[in-house]
Chain A
Amino acid sequence: MNKLTKEDIQFIDTYLSNSDIQYEDIRIEMIDHVASEIENRMTKGDNRTFYDIFKEYMVENKASIVKEGSKPFNWKIFKGVSQLFLKNLYSWQVILGSIVCFVIFNKIYSYFYIDSIWGTFFPTFLMMLVMFIPLIVFGKKKFSFIGNFGVLVSFFFAFNYYFIPYLEEQSLFYYINLGVMTVFFVCSLKTMIYLVLFYKNRFQLV
């Protein structure tokens, strides 16, 4: 059985990356698929160079590979990550963490006399920091579930932005809004930690 070299694998990786298959988890599987097919053709007696067989394979199959692999948003993945988020909402860590954070945020606001319009500043700012966790752990590497989770978090930012003009200090609505954003932040943190550990373990990247 003919085997491709590290350089050949790197070539496929670079080619697929340049073809907009940016998610590492999707690309790893595609690399193996393409490499296996090329090795299979070589083993069956194709005497051409790696590059020639690769070129022929890509002419035949690139559309099919890129069609699914290059989507930055995938409904099925988004649904999966949303279900994970909803499941985490009911965990004791999120419930306890939200209560603690809610009390801390209110203490800080009352201590510094922060205006009601900035009432949701802390949970939204911290939620933004949560989105930087994969960048710190994985660098430029992107993963499908984390990418689609970013879409979900952007809805929370939109939710907050929409209600900012209606915030009035000491009103029930103000506290509800702050509470909801605090829960979103804590649950986002838990979900992100889960996803980062999941990818870290699965791909043994770090």
Chain B
Amino acid sequence: MSNSKLYKGSLNTIILKLLEESDKMYGYEITQKVKEITKGELNITEGALYPALHKLEAEGLLDVEMLKVDNRLRKYYKLTEKGTKETANRLTELEEYIRTMQTIINPKWSIQ
């Protein structure tokens, strides 16, 4: 994961958000997408990504599909119905968190 612990708490939400925007994704693809969107600012390591994916899968938020691609097996993840609902909840939660943090860090903004 990137240099900041702040990102760690949002990793699951980031994964869910990316999967919401595409049909299915595999682990490496997720890391590359995050790197591309954040212009290299956020770098998710294997040690952080896969436990998070496995946890979301165990919670029933992600479904898995195995495909043989280029001489190897590839594990694709996609949102379940429960996962789609949970993504909306978590994004709302994250947006509220960001707003709250902004009011603390920049009190002037909160007056407006």
> Which one of A31-39, A131-139, A154-162, A175-183 is at the B interface?
A31-39
When A36-B28, A68-B51, A80-B58 are in contact, do A9 and B71 touch as well, CB less than 8 Å?
A: yes
B66 touches A204 (CB 8 A): yes
Which residues of chain A come closer than 8 Å to B73, judged between CB atoms? 28, 31-32, 203
A30 to B73, CA, bound (A): 10
Contact residue range for chain A? 20 to 34
Interface flag for A77 (CB, 8 Å): yes
Q: Pick the interface stretch among A59-67, A92-100, A163-171, A184-192.
A: A59-67
Give bound CA distance, A204 to B73, whole Å.
10
Q: Write the chain B residue with the least CB distance to A71.
A: B51
Return chain A residues, CB-CB under 8 Å to B26. Answer: 32, 36
A37–B46 Cα distance when bound, in Å, is 12
Determine if A140 is an interface residue (Cβ-Cβ < 8 Å). Answer: no
- A61 partner residues in chain B, CB cutoff 8 A: 45-46
Closest chain B residue to A13, Cβ basis: B72
- A1 and B58 CA atoms in complex are apart in Å by 34
Minimum distance in angstroms from A149 CB to a CB of chain B: 14
Asked if A48 is at the interface of the complex by the 8 Å CB criterion, the answer is no
What is the size, in residues, of chain B's interface with A at 8 Å between Cβ atoms?
23
On chain B, the residues within 8 Å of A203 by CB distance are 66, 73
Query: Of B47, B50, B58, which is within 8 A of A29 by CB?
Result: B50
B73 to nearest A CB, angstroms?
5
Contact (Cβ within 8 A) A28 B75:
yes
Closest to B28 in A: A36
Cα A4 to Cα B72 in complex, Å, equals 10
Contact A3 B54 (CB under 8 A): no
- Whether B74 contacts A32 by the Cβ 8 Å rule is yes
Q: Which B residues are within 8 Å of any A CB, using their own CB?
A: 26-29, 32, 45-48, 50-51, 54-55, 58, 64, 66, 69-75
Closest 5 pairs (CB-CB, A-B): A64-B47, A36-B28, A64-B45, A80-B58, A6-B71
Binding site for B on A (CB under 8 A): 3-6, 9, 26, 28-33, 35-37, 39-40, 61, 63-65, 67-69, 76-77, 79-80, 202-204
17 chain-A/chain-B pairs, Cβ below 8 angstroms: A3-B70, A6-B71, A9-B71, A9-B72, A26-B50, A28-B75, A32-B69, A32-B75, A33-B28, A35-B70, A36-B29, A37-B28, A65-B46, A68-B46, A68-B51, A69-B50, A77-B54
Task: List 13 extra interface pairs beyond A4-B70, A32-B27, CB under 8 A.
Answer: A5-B71, A28-B75, A29-B27, A29-B50, A31-B73, A32-B26, A35-B72, A63-B47, A68-B50, A76-B51, A76-B55, A76-B58, A77-B54
